[in-house]
Amino acid sequence: MENKKPENRFLENSTLTVATLTSFLAPFMISAVNVALPDIQADFAASAVMLSWISTAYLLSTAVFLVPVGKIADIYGRKKYFSRGLMLLVLSSALSALAPSVLMLIAFRVLQGVGAAMIITTGMAILTSVFPPHRRGRAIGIYVAAVYVGLSVGPTAGGVMTQHFGWRSIFWAVVPLGIFSIIVTRTCLRGEWKGAPGDKFDLIGSLLYGPSLVALIYGASLLPAPVAFLGVGLGVAGLIAFAVRQASVRYPVFDVCLFQNNRVFAFSSLAALINYAATFAVTFLMSLYLQYVKGFPPQTAGFILVFQPVIMAALSPFAGRLSDRIEPRWIASCGMGLTALGLLRLVFLGPETSTEAIIGILCLLGLGFALFSSPNMNAIMGAVEKKYFGIASGAVATMRLLGQMLSMAIATVVFTLIMGSAQISASNLPLFLKSAKIVFVIFTFLCAAGIYFSMARGRLRGE
């Protein structure tokens, strides 16, 4: 029977409020800072390479700490490390706003990434701990919707703030939101959640995992350059060694049995990896298509592209709530199928494609991703025991980052093979369209494979 005690509802609402706010901050920071990069370059007279590291340093540090922090939080307390992550995010944001040089800004962005990893991993774990299974999908849907709102609002808000108040205002904006989240966490989230008290932390495994993941992600970002294969090879070898160690130690950072013996968790995680790999680069490619092929100014292109995340944000809570009532694999598989259909339609884009048709395709992709993401996350978190909530949350966030990396790597390799180092111009638009269509074909096949993994995961709930 549903527990309707006021104190439980207050805890649920407080948890959802702070988790939703913090889930908004990370994607908002990424998208807003990207818009401000030209102003940062002008302020510091930074090179293009140094400028790229402002974003790369944040993403790499986030990826490295997701899984280890999940394990630490399971041992010592999820709320404790959620609160510490917020404090680190607030401190590093203030330091970033005060950065006197581009090197110091990059260093503070590394700290921001660590704080973001602590928040992302523990926030979802706390949300899953507080909400009972029959109401968890709705909460996860709202949490996911906040991510899409951050992605949608970030470019516009970042542009306005940079234009009127300077790029440092983006970092200052995070400070009061973070402080508010800390206050709510300390005053309203009563108690603590520990999944594995008494376990030991595998420091050696973490030291093996971190550099290996950095080598893999950074190597993939350099493809198809020869040195990239060295980075990817070292990363893969290191992660294999990490998996071997995790299978043999008593207290692993990541229990590989979750992939070996838990079909729902393993296949749901693979489906998430595939979905992000097939969709993340779409916005990048469509932005280029709208500006170079259709001839739209950046503002108009941005307005058209915002349809997709708006649909995601609007429908994710509905999809999450639906997954509380219907087996998640059916909803997620339907979403993956709609995404594949939208990607297939992108294969036939041309100069003559109408704006209405483009918006329709983006809305279809938004619908597909909304139906997939929340139910799939609900399946992942619902498939593991309470002691693994932190690890599972870190693992799915890592899958998201790896999928995004793979998506951009696919696009980069295809464009390099077909266009070489040539810049996009009116004279080579046919080559650009050919490259984009090949990428969309690959993404369509990836989504088709994702439908299999989504369906084959099995039932989350018993008969």
Neighbours of 335 (CB within 10 A): 27
Rounded Cα gap, residues 336 and 330, in angstroms = 10
The token duo for 17 is: 């409020």
Confirm if 218 and 231 have CB atoms less than 8 A apart: yes
Q: Give the 3-state secondary structure of residue 160.
A: helix
User: Helix crossing, 355-382 with 298-305: angle to 10°?
Assistant: 50
Asked whether residue 177 is domain-assigned, the answer is yes
Q: Each residue of 15-66: pLDDT tens digit?
A: 999 999 998 888 888 878 877 888 888 899 887 778 778 888 888 898 889 8
The rounded Cα 136 to chain-centroid distance in angstroms is 20
Domain end marker among 143, 164, 187:
187
Task: Say if residue 133 is in the same domain as residue 231.
Answer: no
| Whether residues 336 and 384 fall in one domain | yes
197 domain residue, yes or no:
no
pTM for the structure as a whole: 0.83
Residue 39 in any domain: the answer is yes
Cβ neighbours of residue 217 closer than 8 Å, sequence gap 6 or more: 59, 60, 63, 235, 401, 402, 405
What is the extent of the structural domain holding 129? 1-187
* 339 within domain boundaries: yes
Q: ω into residue 224 within 30 of 0, thus cis?
A: yes
Q: What is the pLDDT of residue 460?
A: 66
Task: Give the CB-side neighbour count of residue 288, counting CA atoms within 13 A.
Answer: 17
3-state secondary structure of 12: helix
For residue 196, tell me if it sits in a domain.
no
Q: Are residues 232 and 294 in the same domain?
A: no
Q: How many domains does the chain have?
A: 3
Question: From CA 294, how far away is CA 298, in angstroms rounded?
Answer: 11
CA separation for the pair 287, 461 (Å, rounded):
41
What value does the CA radius of gyration of the chain take, rounded to a whole number of Å? Answer: 21
Same structural domain, 65 and 129? yes
> Within this chain, do residues 217 and 270 fall inside the same structural domain, yes or no?
no
Residue at 82: amino acid letter: F
What is the rounded distance in angstroms from the CA atom of residue 19 to the CA atom of residue 1?
A: 26
Low-confidence spans in the chain with pLDDT less than 50: 1-3, 462-463
The region that residue 45 occupies, defined by phi over 0 for left and psi between -120 and 50 for alpha, beta otherwise, is left
In the prediction, which pLDDT does 6 show?
A: 60
User: Is 194 part of any domain?
Assistant: no
The pLDDT of residue 463? 42
Angle at 401 between CA 395 and CA 404, to 5 degrees: 140
